[in-house]
Structure 1
Amino acid sequence: MKKPTVIWLNVTIFLVTFLIAVIAVPYRALTYGFDNAEIIFALLCFIYCGMSITAGYHRLWSHKTYQAHWSLRFIFALGGAFALQNSILHWCSDHRIHHKHVDKNDVDPYSAKMGFWYSHIGWMCREYQASRYSDYKNVRDLQKDAIVMWQHKHYLLLTLLMNIGIPVAFGLWHGNLINSLLLVGFFRLVMSHHTTFFINSLAHIWGKQTYTDKNTARDNGLLAYLTFGEGYHNYHHMFENDYRNGIRWWQYDPTKWLIKSCQWLGLTHHLRVSPEDKIEKMRIAMTLKNTKAKLITHPNTEQTLIYLQQEYELLVSKINEYYLVRKKVLQAKRDHLLAEVEKSDLMAQYQELKQRLTEQRRSWQTLTEKLG
């Protein structure tokens, strides 16, 4: 089959900016140097671009995991243009197709099964699915957002103003235009591009399948550091409507922290989270599957598998019992019956089930670690 037409504009942008970032920037650093103000400002711009994509394009507009004040949406819209990753409307359309048809090579815009190069950057270098640039049926909800449509209509102008205007303005103010163009302009842009692209490529190749193996998405804590929390990608593909990617307190997810902080300021609301019991059951189901796969050569395999299955079913039943009573306790507290609840049989039952669940979790962890 004839290869699709090369998108020379994209190829030129990617190639020229990359060469300047890896050749001109290091050369300038060695021969002239960058001062602290330039480095800090470039880092701040990188963070602004990255968070505009993760908190704005991704978690706000693509997945509607929360709602945001118009001022925050406006800031993200400008940051998205600064990141030079297409308009909100088009980016979200692509991403929703990716989630709906993940790993289907003929539909998924950046299917990881097409290889690292294709999913990382190759899909943007040729007209593989030209219809994507005119069909926005899957983002009709976003077409009702005035800021989204304003950015889409004026995207080219906004990208020029942000990517040229900000480095030039800072360079003129700081007194070194060349340094600013190289560091704030080219280097920041290349870093912004490729750290985001890692989610389409590396996050589908490298890491753990903690919650599902029905798609190629992986959880990778290291990638989370490079992508403002997006590295917990296996979780995200199972629970895409959750505003969090790193659900544990110790997981690095600054996008989650930003969204939650903005809620305290009244800039975000209706933050969506996935049910804890569903998350836990998905995780232990994968643990069961992986442990069973390792038991093929285990002595007394049949008896061990039976015991493992029994322990799994017991854990699931205790999870169901605990969260059912927990829901009743929380509802009573919401109904302002806290004093009554604390002294009730319901609370005693809740505490007993919590203890039993804790014990069963420990038993399950000990068993799977021993067999694994």
Structure 2
Amino acid sequence: MTTRVDPNSPYNWPGVITLFGTSIAALVAIPLYAWFNDFSTAAWVSFVVLAIANGMAITAGYHRLWAHRTYEAHWTVRFVLMFFGTMAVQNSVLVWASGHRTHHRHVDDTENDPYSAKRGFWFSHMGWMLRKYESGKEDFSNSPDLLKDPMVMFQHKHYTALALGTNFILPVIIGFMVGDVWGVVLLGGLLRLVWSHQTTFFINSLAHIWGRRPYTDENTARDNDILAVFTYGEGYHNYHHLFQYDYRNGIKWFHIDPTKWLIAGLSFVGLTKNLKRCDAFAIEKARIAMQFKRAEQKLLGHPTAMQAQMDAVKARLAQEYEHYSKALQDWAKLKEAWYNDTKNALKNGETLAAYKLKFKAMEVEMRLQRKRLQALVSQVQKPSFA
């Protein structure tokens, strides 16, 4: 019986040739060319600009627009994202997005997740593309919206020609324009493609191994600020796997998420709209729940001789968590009531003032409760806790 991840599956030769061929060519051709020639500044600029364009097209387009539908975009934005996403050579939008939806549905399932991190770094990074595994079999039943999209289907139907055209014709044109054809072809074409591949692949591999899990430990996804720099904000992967329909991955003001900034920036000029944001209540509840869970686990590790003290601390921790959860629920209910009044145009100046006072009082109370809970959690997490 053949499993969906049979290691004896036949090789996917187009994938093998593309991934290893481009990498080997870059390792040989670029140093050899540099030995005899100097790369122009324009060639290096082409590498940087095209690498960013490819990366953002995958994150803002393939991922957050088409795979998760976290926002809507004007056709001109969709065209540009699809153009540079095609140039990144990561398959068509239809194949990429449907496979990614399967990944989220079966994350870490070694038989159904197309690039399960539970099968090891190599498999989740590149190995899943080198053989025709059953777990990676194309199945578009989860993408009826994409099957009805004319632009998506045109790209899918003509993908090979479009990928070859964007990767050969565009660098050559740019090279002629700046007077350094070979320099641009090697840096803006070849090196850019290898860089684009590897940085994207790190999200499937390294972002499931290295980092922190502040929102959930039900899957292997991690948040990692360093990866976020190289992946245009995709490094906040623990958050993304729990709140996949949020157009943001980095939700804090200091989080490095250029993709979020691009999507939000385009909304100010009307090119993107209906940007989805997950409810702050759900986000805060998940974060606090993880802190509570870790504190409980730490308490379980103490000797039975300290059981009475541990029970007392655990009871305090549970009480503070319950109080904070109740405050979050009350805040959510108040927000819903305010929204309904606003939507139905029932509020007047007096009602609005009353809501403001209620929100302010509740925020003060929540802040105090959060501090008490976090102080208790921090106390439990200290190595010296006894």
- Pairwise same-fold verdict (TM > 0.5): yes
**2-structure distance, mates of 1:338, 1:272:** 28
| Cα distance change, pair 314–147 in 1 and its aligned pair in 2 (3 A) | same
The alpha-carbon deviation at position 59 of structure 1 amounts to 0.6
Q: Secondary structure at the match of 1:198?
A: helix
Aligned to 1:36: 41
Summarize the alignment of residues 52-91 of structure 1 with structure 2, pairs less than 5 Å apart. 52-91=57-96
**What CA RMSD, in Å, does the superposition of the two structures yield over aligned residues?**
1.8
**2-structure distance, mates of 1:371, 1:31:** 62
> Please, which of 167, 170, 175 is the counterpart of residue 171 of structure 1?
175
Aligned to 2:314: 305
| Cα distance change, pair 252–2 in 1 and its aligned pair in 2 (3 A) | closer
Aligned to 2:212: 208
**1-structure distance, mates of 2:110, 2:59:** 24
Aligned to 2:377: 368
Aligned to 1:122: 127
The alpha-carbon deviation at position 122 of structure 1 amounts to 0.3
Aligned to 2:261: 257
The alpha-carbon deviation at position 336 of structure 1 amounts to 7.9
Q: Does 2:353 correspond to 1:349?
A: no
TM-score if structure 2 supplies the norm length?
A: 0.91
**2-structure distance, mates of 1:145, 1:244:** 24
What percentage of residue pairs aligned between the two structures are identical?
44
| Residue deviations 1:61-84 (CA, integer Å, cap 9, x gap) | 111111111111111111111000
Q: Secondary structure at the match of 2:137?
A: helix
Q: Contact 2:43 / 2:180 at 8 angstroms: preserved in 1?
A: no
| Residue deviations 1:31-60 (CA, integer Å, cap 9, x gap) | 533232221221110111111111111111
Aligned to 1:18: 23
Q: Which has the larger displacement, 304-313 or 81-90?
A: 304-313
**2-structure distance, mates of 1:240, 1:189:** 27
Aligned to 2:277: 273
Q: Contact 2:40 / 2:180 at 8 angstroms: preserved in 1?
A: no
Q: Contact 1:220 / 1:233 at 8 angstroms: preserved in 2?
A: yes
AA partner of residue 86 (structure 2): A
The alpha-carbon deviation at position 266 of structure 1 amounts to 1.1
Q: Secondary structure at the match of 1:141?
A: helix
**1-structure distance, mates of 2:346, 2:51:** 46
Summarize the alignment of residues 302-341 of structure 1 with structure 2, pairs less than 5 Å apart. 302-333=311-342, 335=345, 337=347, 339-341=349-351
| Cα distance change, pair 342–30 in 1 and its aligned pair in 2 (3 A) | farther
| Cα distance change, pair 338–14 in 1 and its aligned pair in 2 (3 A) | farther
Summarize the alignment of residues 218-229 of structure 1 with structure 2, pairs less than 5 Å apart. 218-229=222-233
Q: Which has the larger displacement, 331-340 or 60-69?
A: 331-340
| Cα distance change, pair 366–28 in 1 and its aligned pair in 2 (3 A) | farther
Q: Does 2:293 correspond to 1:289?
A: yes
| Cα distance change, pair 89–343 in 1 and its aligned pair in 2 (3 A) | closer
> Please, which of 124, 141, 162 is the counterpart of residue 137 of structure 1?
141
Q: Which has the larger displacement, 195-204 or 293-302?
A: 293-302
Q: Which has the larger displacement, 51-60 or 292-301?
A: 292-301
Q: Secondary structure at the match of 2:266?
A: helix
Q: Which has the larger displacement, 346-355 or 165-174?
A: 346-355
The alpha-carbon deviation at position 350 of structure 1 amounts to 2.1
The alpha-carbon deviation at position 341 of structure 1 amounts to 3.6
| Cα distance change, pair 348–127 in 1 and its aligned pair in 2 (3 A) | same
Aligned to 1:107: 112
The alpha-carbon deviation at position 342 of structure 1 amounts to 4.5
**1-structure distance, mates of 2:248, 2:348:** 29
| Cα distance change, pair 340–22 in 1 and its aligned pair in 2 (3 A) | farther
| Cα distance change, pair 26–339 in 1 and its aligned pair in 2 (3 A) | farther
Q: Kindly tell me the number of residue pairs found equivalent between the two proteins.
A: 370
The alpha-carbon deviation at position 292 of structure 1 amounts to 1.4
Aligned to 1:155: 159
The alpha-carbon deviation at position 29 of structure 1 amounts to 3.9
The alpha-carbon deviation at position 236 of structure 1 amounts to 0.7
**1-structure distance, mates of 2:252, 2:7:** 48
TM-score if structure 1 supplies the norm length?
A: 0.95
The alpha-carbon deviation at position 117 of structure 1 amounts to 0.3
**2-structure distance, mates of 1:94, 1:76:** 19
AA partner of residue 8 (structure 1): W
| Cα distance change, pair 328–112 in 1 and its aligned pair in 2 (3 A) | same
The alpha-carbon deviation at position 166 of structure 1 amounts to 1.2
Q: Does 2:150 correspond to 1:146?
A: yes
Q: Contact 2:221 / 2:238 at 8 angstroms: preserved in 1?
A: yes
**2-structure distance, mates of 1:354, 1:302:** 30
| Cα distance change, pair 273–24 in 1 and its aligned pair in 2 (3 A) | same
The alpha-carbon deviation at position 131 of structure 1 amounts to 7.1
The unaligned stretches of length 5 or more in structure 2 are 1-5, 382-386
Q: Contact 1:332 / 1:338 at 8 angstroms: preserved in 2?
A: no
Q: Which has the larger displacement, 31-40 or 264-273?
A: 31-40
The unaligned stretches of length 5 or more in structure 1 are none
The alpha-carbon deviation at position 330 of structure 1 amounts to 4.5
AA partner of residue 4 (structure 1): S
